[in-house]
Structure 1
Amino acid sequence: MNLEKRNKIDNRILAGDGLYYKFKNRSYSCSAGFWARSQPNMNYIATTGHCYVPGSGPFYLLPWNSTRVYLIGEMPIHYLEPIDFGLINIDIKKIQPIPSVRNTDSERYKELFIEDVILASNNGAHLCLSGLRSHVKCGYVAALNGFTSNGLYFRDNIFVVNLRNIAGDSGGPIFYYKNFTHVSLNGIVQGGLFDFNDNINGITGVITISSILNLFEDLEVVTTS
């Protein structure tokens, strides 16, 4: 893995791009959820809190289908309860965050502009994820009011989508297509929910965007509008 620390602003990070870090000589990965900002002009990449490992090194940008990574920064803010959420410091002089979703596999619409933030409000709504391993895939809302517990942490601010995510997709955006080029952000991937019996489609738990913004009242999602 090639580690880059160049100062030129030629490295862009989009929602769905990979996040790479090392701990005790082992490599780990998650996905970027969205560009977040708080005052006074602090910039972050949002992802899941479980991507943080105490004692691990800084996070790097790992673009799709790439072996070259670019330094982003540390994760000073990370929670496992009441929501699974973390914020990575970003220096926009070195890495340029973009308020768009990565969709590189598409021939025509390689970036999907995040126009706004909305709540998932209907069972059966068609939503999609973008992540390092799955790239873009879609499914339908199976439940609006879900919770998870592993005996240590309880989280009740999730909804459920019947699509299968792959390890490394955690933290990636869940979004709704407004048209071919613009999307609304609904939340970020927490991970697979293995208590559900769906061996065909898979089941993904989603951290609601409202629970994130309720916990961090001074945080805003950077959009194109």
Structure 2
Amino acid sequence: MNKFRLGIALSLFCGVIFNCAALEANADSNDGVQHVNEKDLLPPGFSSWDELNMRQNVLNRAASTIERVSKGEEGFSGIEILPARNTLSLYWHGKLPSAVREEVINKNPLPVHISVVSADYSRGQIQQAISEIEKMLPLKREPLVTRIAPMEDGSGVRVWTEAPVGKLAETEYLKEFKVPVFLSHGDRLENTASPASRDTDISPYWGGARYYGNGSCSTGFAAVDHNTKYPVMLTAAHCVEVGAKVMVGDSYPLKLNPDGTLNWHQVGKAYVKSPTHDSAAIDMPSSPSIYRGSVGSSARGLVAGQVKAYKGSYVCAGGASSGENCGLLVSATGATAIDKEGKPYEYNLSIAASAPGGLAVAGGDSGGPVFYPLARSTSVKAAGIISGGLRSVSCSGVESPAPPQDCYNELAFVPLQDVLDVTLTDLSIAP
């Protein structure tokens, strides 16, 4: 049977599914922001995204090799890629070991310029400082800090605040750490589960489709459980409860049956979740495929493998509410999300952004796939799972009979390897 997405313009059920007045108020507050055409996001020097993706895939192969040979070395600080210049920067504290230099530079078979840059601090030193900050924030009851991340160049720690930077700069305890702390303004992470939305899917299920758990979310990538070898679906932890039913709608939007129940059906149950890495697995039939294109598209992308998204790389995100959004530039990795009580609650997040005013993710996209599209192909490589959004923008550019109400310019996602590790699963690869 051919798979499809179904969208029908029907009125939503206020009171049954969500509070419509609250959503309308939120939508009105975002008016006036213009979305950016994906073609306008293409960096200078490239004629197409295919050309950029080919260059980026080579850079990522080089970066993966560097991480492998640097494992266990104390001086490693970070990696940043710059596709426009075909350059990879390896930040290293102290002298680069001869074994690493030999493998990374002298034996490098790839057509990539690798630059070794001196770093002020190692990743280990920076992570130690981050751990100390995380422990201190709840004691100080600091409500201003929203997230923390290591500086990829090894210069220190980046701390985001939702208050004016000058106010947080006056906080003496941030001056007590052994590495510098750099302050930036940044909103608090908003999970992108939606109280109601659209789309139907059929078995075996693909990533990027609508399902209902704790509200409405998106499926991520198909995987296989380590122990049972059964097919499962990866998604975000905040979308589900362990042991609770996971439903897929029989129509879009959901309707009431004559007996007063909603017209949805159970497709499985969530059986494992890790809130600190916002990762979960659902026991349900799944296929190594994701939906590509806009909200109403039935285009298929085969999952050809996985990849790590380094700072400087470009990714795509695909959720049931906003469809596919590409050209998202990874600006930070290893970030920690901080709640309003100053407590860390999500770790090792990556942050990617569209151009100013552009759409990266929307309410209802949580759990959906983050990926690299392969050049001259509809196949993709899995990079992570959507966790939330930052920096509100208008949803007016989303082509849907019932556009989402909450849209964001920045995307926070969980690296795929973290998702696989905490759920004890293996990614399903298309033959």
Question: TM-score, normalized by length of structure 2?
Answer: 0.42
The separation in 1 between residues aligned to 2:281 and 2:292, in whole angstroms, is 23
Aligned to 1:15: 207
The separation in 2 between residues aligned to 1:222 and 1:17, in whole angstroms, is 17
Matches within 5 A, 1:130-169: 130-138=318-326, 139-150=328-339, 151=341, 152-163=343-354, 164-169=360-365
Aligned to 2:416: 209
When structure 1 is superposed on structure 2, of 159-168 and 142-151 the one drifting more is: 142-151
AA of the residue aligned to 1:45: M
The separation in 1 between residues aligned to 2:229 and 2:265, in whole angstroms, is 22
SS at match of 1:168: coil
The separation in 1 between residues aligned to 2:389 and 2:363, in whole angstroms, is 9
User: Which of 216, 235, 253 does residue 29 from structure 1 map onto?
Assistant: 216
The separation in 2 between residues aligned to 1:110 and 1:142, in whole angstroms, is 29
SS at match of 2:316: strand
Larger Rg: 2
Matches within 5 A, 1:166-181: 166-179=362-375, 180-181=377-378
Aligned to 1:129: 317
User: Which of 38, 62, 74 does residue 269 from structure 2 map onto?
Assistant: 74
Q: Which runs of 5+ in 2 are unaligned?
A: 1-12, 14-201, 255-262, 355-359, 395-407
The separation in 2 between residues aligned to 1:135 and 1:127, in whole angstroms, is 14
- For the 8 Å contact 1:143–1:160, the answer to whether it is kept is yes
C-alpha displacement of 1:162 = 0.6
Change (3 A) 1:175 1:74: same
AA of the residue aligned to 1:166: A
Matches within 5 A, 1:34-45: 34-38=221-225, 39-45=227-233
Identity among equivalent pairs (%)? 20
C-alpha displacement of 1:108 = 9.1
Change (3 A) 1:64 1:117: farther
Matches within 5 A, 1:29-68: 29-38=216-225, 39-53=227-241, 57-62=244-249, 67=254
The separation in 1 between residues aligned to 2:250 and 2:315, in whole angstroms, is 23
Aligned to 1:98: 287
Higher normalized helix content (fraction of residues)? 2
User: Which of 277, 283, 298 does residue 89 from structure 1 map onto?
Assistant: 283
The separation in 1 between residues aligned to 2:297 and 2:216, in whole angstroms, is 28
- For the 8 Å contact 1:192–1:203, the answer to whether it is kept is yes
Q: Which runs of 5+ in 1 are unaligned?
A: 2-9, 23-27
Deviation string, structure 1 residues 35-75 (Cα, Å, up to 9, x no partner):
111232222111111112579x5111348956464421111
The separation in 2 between residues aligned to 1:199 and 1:75, in whole angstroms, is 32
Deviation string, structure 1 residues 59-97 (Cα, Å, up to 9, x no partner):
11348956464421111212211x11111112x4xxxx2
When structure 1 is superposed on structure 2, of 165-174 and 207-216 the one drifting more is: 207-216
Change (3 A) 1:21 1:156: closer
AA of the residue aligned to 2:372: Y
Q: Which has the higher contact order (CA 8 A, sep 6+)?
A: 1
Change (3 A) 1:73 1:148: same
- For the 8 Å contact 1:80–1:153, the answer to whether it is kept is no
Q: How many residues align?
A: 200
Deviation string, structure 1 residues 181-221 (Cα, Å, up to 9, x no partner):
11100000000135xxx8586111110112123334x4101
- For the 8 Å contact 1:188–1:207, the answer to whether it is kept is yes
SS at match of 2:270: coil
Deviation string, structure 1 residues 71-127 (Cα, Å, up to 9, x no partner):
21111212211x11111112x4xxxx211111264999800111000101241x221
- For the 8 Å contact 1:13–1:61, the answer to whether it is kept is no
